[in-house]
Amino acid sequence: MSTHELLPEPYKIKVIEPIQAISRAQRQAAIDAAGYNTFLLRSDDVYIDLLTDSGTNAMSDSQWAWMMVGDEAYAGSRSFEHLRDAVQQVYGYRYVVPTHQGRGAEHILSKCLIRPGCVVPGNMYFTTTRLHQELAGGTFVDVIIDEAHDPDSQHPFKGNVDLEKLEKLTLEMDISKIPYITIGAPVNMAGGQPVSLENLRQVSEFCRARGIRVVLDAARAIENARLIQEREADQAGRPVKDILRDMCSLTDACTMSAKKDAFANIGGFLAVNDEGLFEEAKNLCAVYEGLHTYGGLAGRDMEALAQGLREAVERDEWVAHRISQVRYLWENLKERGIPLVHPCGGHAVFVDARRFLTHVPQSHYPAQSLSAAIYLDSGVRGMERGIVSAGRDPETRQEHEPELELVRLALPRRVYTQSHLDFVADGLRKTWLRRDEIPGLKFVFEPRYLRFFQARFAPIAAKARGGKREAALARGKQG
């Protein structure tokens, strides 16, 4: 029993999906077969699935109802009009291009605005965002504040942009080579850490004075708005939807993965204020996604997304409950001694694998190994957010070595209950108690792009520490 505050669910349950835990021996076989990569596990072999909050949300009865009236016309679909109207109303951007998911919008935007030699600053990289920038010939430059790289820093807005870093970049290079800055709000890779409205205002002023566009990565902007409401002194008491509109008004465009905030299972969009950019994006949409009135989505998907967006901001309780669930899990893990990224973020709890597995060097992929060990101990699936996710420099092929070496436990929206969260916290405690036995990993297969999704690993038999038990365990796992 925990005493931590958890808001009651602002919904009741109408449909259920059975889940079942398999035995530890079966999990051992499953993680071996998956090459120690939780992305390669079968979902039937997972008990509590915290791999991602992307597209794993439970839809409301209204969203399901709207799916029945989806207009599946190839062109001029009424469902697109509903989506466009919802985006305009919730975020305030003028023009909307639908895409199959967030990376579709990132692809189109990168193709429209980036030329070889361009530099795109941002508040920490995101995997797909940076890859599309690189594939378009650009280079990503991190301008997030230093505190973001320190899991112990208590800074309430670790997603903030360091304006000195940004200014230095603009002084060092030809400004025409900086087409835009991307602002992730909150910053996924930093631990779901938010950006303050004040910082966004400063970034916006700085960039607008220099003709640099500000592009919001809006995947979880509603969660960021809630964290602003909680943490930014002069924003307490304002409705989330008003804070969100203020955030968007300080930016020129957004790329959106609607699989996050919008309670949808699929979908995304690019929204912009500039008509010329809209025309070009609309044209590329027809090349890569589908006609500009469906962008790779069925009419019913666009309806579910539009309703999800309206719902997400209609009452602050939705996002408040979600974040209270994340905080509840965070508090429970902290109480059990698990090293975590501080402060608690919006969509997930991030476990600090460096301090969890102090005997595993970064070159042996501690967060990858820890995510596999957590699965083995309790059937809970999280994912690596460390050196494996960071990948390699496209030119030198050297591995990026991020300071943060994390396992992310992301909470799907409206899916799990308090007792599931308690089970997860107890499960991680088991892993914590046997942490010394957990071996590092080596690659056995490394894909070229976004390697974390499809890579395969094998345990390294421990010798340096001479632990017989550890070595025996590693052998057991290989066999």
| 329/304 Cα distance (integer angstroms) | 29
Residue 217: active-site member: yes
Alpha-carbon distance 455 to 35, whole Å?
A: 8
Site membership for ligand PLP, residue 224 (CB under 6 A): no
Residue whose CB is nearest to ligand PLP in the complex, by number: 102
Q: How far apart, in whole angstroms, are the C-alpha atoms of residue 108 and residue 405?
A: 30
What separation, in Å, do the N-terminal and C-terminal C-alpha atoms of the chain show? 39
Q: Does residue 289 interact with ligand PLP by CB under 6 A?
A: no
**Cα–Cα dist 202/220, whole Å:** 21
Q: Tokens standing for 274?
A: 């500039």
Where does this chain touch ligand PLP (CB under 6 A) — which range of 72-80, 126-134, 279-287, 395-403? 126-134
Q: Is 125 a binder of ligand PLP (CB under 6 A)?
A: no
Binding flag, residue 110, ligand PLP (CB under 6 A) = no
Both tokens of 100, joined, read 């199959």
Query: Quick check: 231 and 51 in contact, CB under 8 A?
Result: no
Nearer to ligand PLP, 136 or 360 (CB): 136
Whether residue 36 contacts residue 456, with contact meaning beta carbons closer than 8 Å, is answered with yes
Cβ neighbors of 175 (< 8 A, separation 6 or more) are: 210, 211, 212
- Known active-site residue 274: no
Residue 389 touching ligand PLP (CB under 6 A): no
With CB under 6 A as the contact rule, the residue among 27, 82, 84, 103 that binds ligand PLP is 103
One of 91, 126, 328, 416 is an active-site residue; which one?
126
The answer to whether 63 touches 308, Cβ cutoff 8 Å, is yes
Which residue, 47 or 125, has its beta carbon nearer to ligand PLP? 125
The verdict on whether 385 is a catalytic residue reads: yes
What mask of x and - would describe binding to ligand PLP in positions 62 to 101, judged by CB under 6 A?
---------------------------------------x
Of the candidate residues 54, 56, 224, 332, the single one contacting ligand PLP (CB under 6 A):
54
Q: Hey, which residues between 266 and 285 contact ligand PLP (CB under 6 A)?
A: 268
**Distance (Å, whole) CA 68 – CA 84:** 19
Q: Is 123 near ligand PLP (CB under 6 A)? A: no
Neighbours of 48 (CB within 10 A): 22
Q: In this chain, which of 123, 128, 196, 265 binds ligand PLP, going by CB under 6 A? A: 128
Give the distance from CA 469 to its chain's centroid: 36
Both tokens of 150, joined, read 């320190």
- Cα 55 versus chain centre, distance: 11
Stretch that binds ligand PLP, among 19-27, 69-77, 124-132, 153-161 (CB under 6 A): 124-132
What is the length of the chain? 479
DSSP state of 300: H
Q: Do residues 121 and 180 make contact, with C-beta atoms less than 8 angstroms apart? A: no
Catalytic annotation present for 74: yes
| 80, 95, 125, 126: which one binds ligand PLP (CB under 6 A) | 126
Helix (H, G, I), strand (E, B) or coil at 440: coil
Question: C-beta of 100: minimal distance to ligand PLP in Å?
Answer: 8
Which x/- pattern, by CB under 6 A, does the window 174-193 give for ligand PLP? ----------x---x-----
Closest separation in Å from C-beta 113 to ligand PLP: 16
The contact set with ligand PLP (CB under 6 A) reads: 54, 101-103, 126, 128-129, 184, 188, 217, 219, 257, 259-260, 268
Active-site residue list: 74, 126-127, 217, 260, 385, 452
